[in-house]
Structure 1
């Protein structure tokens, strides 16, 4: 204050006065001066922060997803009188989430003790939410009949306001373990109708013990409610071997919608064709090591385009050693193959780092899964997953906070949320990529690259001309060790892809909860809390109001177009047409007792 007073005395020609932000903006409004309008992100700066501490960023995304998922489930159960709404517990988990968003934590520029402390904070929030989610799930299983003798039920709760079509994965134990040569196959039924089902390798590693089962089945989950599936078992002499095999150095996977070729000599994708349209050049989904430095923030770096090398397929001896076996194995293999999907595994190495990459190819539909398990031991380097595209006339888009932004194709590092897309201007098709916890990307005229992680020093930045990090003792680097990244690639007509991708990304991140559970058979089946008739309108939150016992529903238009949707509330037997502007957020407050629906603001006032 003394400095300001001194400045006022020193500069009498300038009117300087003590004021408030409100008074400043009122004066600005009265002046009627035209102000510059910025309609794009203020990035890029500190581009290293988009991917530093990838482990913490992924855990943060998990906590964020679990919070919104659990909040929806708790609201659906509480507003039907099945449980008390856990307001205090949710608030405690929310504080954990908000704390981790603080500067130097989520950006990934802190020191190792801070990283560990915040991972513990995230784990605390996840533990709270896990307990609430299980309680809500059990309450929402009300009205489910008891299992028939010899069957094992699987219940899946879909918290979203629209139907979700996904490959459901769930594990359970058989009644008894068998230690001799046999294999128990599983068939999943819904309302007596068999669904495409396959048994895959379970999470445990017990060899030739027929006990634990991991079933994968294709299902359509009803909106906002519990779906019931029943498993029936059949004993076979042995597990059926994969039908899909490598021929002449390639593995070709072909359905009526997909034609994908994986090169068995490189482990990369040489053909990615969806409904007759080729989207990728050869060598797609390759892993490239980029030159980086010790700077945690990446203060002076706009792009990471200089390659230090790339991961290459392991030879049979190295592949066997990396896989944990005692012999030689092929580095590219079909590890799962059934009525639902085929899974191809490829093993790569670069210096002291290794990768197990899996291509998950659906027998129905066009969404391809990529699972990249990285064992990272590089220093001052960055890892990118590259998707070279077939033409050079692409527009690049990505999800940002409650909106979509167009990004330049200049190779610079950018930050986005749950999905990015490449739109072909000529053919009017789009390739979309959903992630589960990755925020950093770059685009060139003919490629999309996903930044997986980087390994600078902790809390290190440029200071003058001297070395940035100490050179005379060991300095630990970030994100060493094991990481798992998952992506979901889809392609099709531009308008449909861009209308559906935000809902798909939400459903992938806020996953419907599946559990093998034997219900007691009593009660009444709960109703859906909220239903929406447009995939382009997202329900980002369903919760109890901060004050009182009203239901708060937050809607968001995801495509940048004006649209209307019908909001249906089976709990109060009400429907309401809702009009939304481009990217508009609209908050509604429902009084279940009175049956009223009113619009409110983000503060619920």
Structure 2
């Protein structure tokens, strides 16, 4: 048997250490590996992440130049070629692709290299949508170690992974792991060779990993001695191994490589939610920047946008986004995400103002103009929520009640409680519903009627405790005694069982990676329940001796809002049900003040649907999820559906859930240990001192529940989730009345075609990139219109197919996944 010795140094930039430590260890490891290449004439070192190379380039340029020489000599192999090794389940397809694109650009520009083997050794599972992306980015092979052989029905570590649309890539799954213990190759290798005897070729991964280290002198000497004794070992690249097995018949896998480390789908929820927000802001700002630049209204600030992308991509590292890091890393990553979000806030305001060109000047001093930019390539239909100031402070005790108009016609609207608690008729918040045209700015005018006081809700609980809200499509009923939903009717069909939206509490393990041996999704320890009236008043901050723990707080033309003040042991929670009376859609906001340890919270959604399947959005696709109480991972939505009806649950940054018999459990948080687990030396938390747990304090969540006919719900889920997560940008603004109103940026006519990005080209300031994919598994030809350029074209798409178009010189032409900026290999 010929054994290909794949030496690497799995370098986590953060995990049980902060990025500074990861950077310094990375530089030291590279220096050691480069020195061993000079010393051992047959040794080949392999490494991937662009981030580490960039650190070396910045801080030890002489070493960087020596590595460039060794790469050119074929002694140092660049594998993988991504920015870093991210989580491969939770980022959107576009986000993961940017990991590839940023790495591809760097390695081609600095080394002239285009790797064909992708590497994500340690990522906790891999979404099936990666296959097509890898193939279209020029990769032939993929190396990982998770999940292990327990999820496969074959023993081979090599297999063909087939994507949604039929793309294939050869995968090597190393069941031994990605590294070796320092100086222990001589002890490990004989047993490994015995286990693999009978194979013609084998791939052995070695080199000290995690915090770094890579090859050691002892291991290199021991390998040389074993070779001299006749063991067929060769220092190699993974490409050489894959070429050697090219003609072997391999098993085929047609699913996502999950589940694994299921606790990571939910640990450290703050990073996940902030990542989701920045992920959406980046795509939105790229579109706004493109729109303003194409209209000649503003410069596309690519460097600043790229800076924010770096913040996002770093946060996606497979110990950051999954929440398996220590508390200082959590704070570091949150600071990075905040940095990216601040850049996005500044640029959103800049491009918003530019895109207000051509709007008429304000003619009426008593009217407040509101401008709303819709970044989506389809009409925006969810309510708009905007806060603004009156032109002047009104020193009276009356209330200026806002009414919203579009082109002189009143639209459904209502006043809502503003953020301020300043007792003056000045700060206003209004919610209104009006369809917004795609990729364009829409103007609304807010006028006021002066009334004696702020309108209060009229709706009360009935004698039986029901708070019943009638909608245009049915009803929502909340029980005032339990604070839970007892009825959700849409178009004559009841979708839920009484007691829905319970927040249940489960015992959990201490480990952020999973709940093995402790967590049981069938046995909650308890649930949040309504507070006593006196405690509810104290919690709500109301100057009253008592307050009904479940009550209607706001009521208008768009929403009826019901609040429930709940408690569990030392923890508190406010639930806000927002019932859209115009559409029948139910929204839920949770604000949880958590104080428990080693607990897992789940939102329970029991439906009346029978013979169901559980489905969820994944990277560049959607797929059926397990219905066996197994914790599974999905992205912006999951849905319970039978052949006729469906209920979709859309979220703003929650990824873990389970389902059984038509009841979903959406995991909200896990109050487990930072980087904690039971190892050789015993369980953690034995030292007599304070030990921090995750999720202690305030956490917030938003959900939207979409019920109806199966085809309607599953057809709308992607667009509704996009609107819920990438909300329109709305601001009060008095325009100068100059210029011309720019035409819309982009429109797409097919519901199952998703716009992944519209951005400036990587190589040309005069070219733009539009990426789309078919999201529902249905072949379609979409009409794509670019009114800003007076261009339209048809995009034929096979099920789940990704396509990229370059817009240049007034025309759109299909290009490759890498925009033609880097060869595909």
Range class of TM-score, shorter chain? over 0.9
CA distance in 1, matches of 2:230, 2:749: 62
- Partners in 1 of 2:609 and 2:807 — Cα distance? 49
Q: Does structure 1 residue 57 correspond to structure 2 residue 275?
A: no
Which of 482, 500, 520 is matched with 2:716 structurally? 500
Aligned pairs for 1:356-395 within 5 A: 356-395=574-613
Verify: 1:604 aligned to 2:820, yes or no.
yes
Residues 1:9 and 1:303: Cα distance change in structure 2 (over 3 Å): farther
Counterpart for residue 584 of structure 1? 801
Secondary structure (helix, strand or coil) at the match of 1:165 reads coil
TM-aligned CA distance change 1:83 to 1:176, over 3 Å: closer
Deviations 1:126-167 (A, max 9, x none): 111111111111000101111221110010000111111111
More helix by share: 2
Distance 2:745 2:683 in 1: 58
Matches within 5 A, 1:43-82: 43-82=258-297
Counterpart of 1:446 in structure 2 is: 662
1:481 matched residue in structure 2: 697
Contact 2:652/2:702 (<8 A) preserved = yes
* Residues in 1 aligned to 2:362 and 2:322: alpha-carbon distance in whole angstroms: 49
Paired residue for 2:382?
A: 166
Residues 358 and 594 of structure 1, relative CA distance in 2, 3 Å threshold: closer
Q: Is the 8 A contact 1:169 1:215 kept in 2?
A: yes
Counterpart Cα distance in 2 of 1:179 and 1:304 = 56
- Report the CA distance shift for 1:11/1:311 in structure 2 as closer, same or farther (over 3 A): farther
Query: Does the 8 Å CA contact 1:294/1:469 hold for their aligned counterparts?
Result: no
Q: 8 Å contact 1:457–1:469 — kept in the other structure?
A: no
Deviation at residue 10 of structure 1 after TM alignment: 5.0
Q: For 2:311, what is the secondary structure of its paired residue?
A: helix
Contact 1:299 1:461 in 2 (8 A): no
Of 188, 191, 203, the residue aligned with 2:407 is 191
Look up the SS of the partner of 2:322 in the other structure: coil
Q: CA-to-partner distance for each residue in 1:69-109, whole Å, 9 max, x for gaps?
A: 11111111112211111111111111111111113211112
Structure 1 gaps, min length 5: none
Contact 2:381–2:433 (CA<8 Å) still a contact in 1?
yes
Aligned to 2:504: 288
Matched ranges for 1:392-541 at <5 A: 392-425=610-643, 428-464=644-680, 466-541=682-757
| Secondary structure at the counterpart of residue 340 of structure 2 | helix
* Alpha-carbon separation, structure 2, partners of 1:296 and 1:397: 25
Contact 2:550 2:563 in 1 (8 A): yes
Do structure 1's residue 92 and structure 2's residue 307 form an aligned pair? yes
Q: When you count strand as a share of all residues, which structure comes out higher?
A: 1
Quote the offset at 1:603 in angstroms.
4.5
Of 134, 138, 149, which residue of structure 1 is paired with 2:353?
138
Task: Tell me the equivalent position of 1:560.
Answer: 777
Name the SS of the counterpart of 2:770 in structure 1: strand
Residues 204-283 of structure 1 correspond to what in structure 2 (within 5 A)?
204-207=420-423, 209-248=424-463, 249-283=465-499
Conserved 8 A contact 2:404-2:445: yes
RMSD: 1.7
Q: Which has the higher contact order (CA 8 A, sep 6+)?
A: 1
DSSP 3-state at the match of 1:539 = strand
CA distance in 2 between counterparts of 1:270 and 1:200 reads 26
- Runs of 4+, deviation exceeding 6 Å: none
Q: Provide closer, same or farther for how the CA distance between residues 6 and 401 of structure 1 changes in structure 2, counting only shifts above 3 A.
A: farther
Offset of residue 229 of structure 1:
0.2
Post-superposition CA distance 1:35-74 (Å, at most 9, x none): 2222222222211111111111111111111111111111
Matched, 1:120 2:335: yes
Partner of 1:544: 760
TM superposition shift of 1:439: 0.9
Equivalences for residues 264-343 of structure 1 within 5 A: 264-298=480-514, 300=516, 304-326=521-543, 327-343=545-561
C-alpha separation in 2, matches of 1:378 and 1:135: 43
Contact 2:438/2:747 (<8 A) preserved: yes
Change (3 A) 1:270 1:7: farther
TM-score, L = length of structure 1: 0.96
**Aligned-partner Cα distance in 1 for 2:489–2:308:** 43
- The structure-2 alpha-carbon separation of the partners of 1:177 and 1:577, relative to structure 1 and needing over 3 Å to count, comes to same
**TM-score relative to the length of structure 2:** 0.70
| 1:445–1:9 CA distance, 2 compared to 1 (3 A) | farther
Alpha-carbon deviation of 1:171? 0.8
- Alignment gaps of 5+ in structure 2: 1-42, 44-219
Q: Distance in 2 between matches of 1:364 and 1:28?
A: 60
Q: Is the 8 A contact 1:45 1:299 kept in 2?
A: no
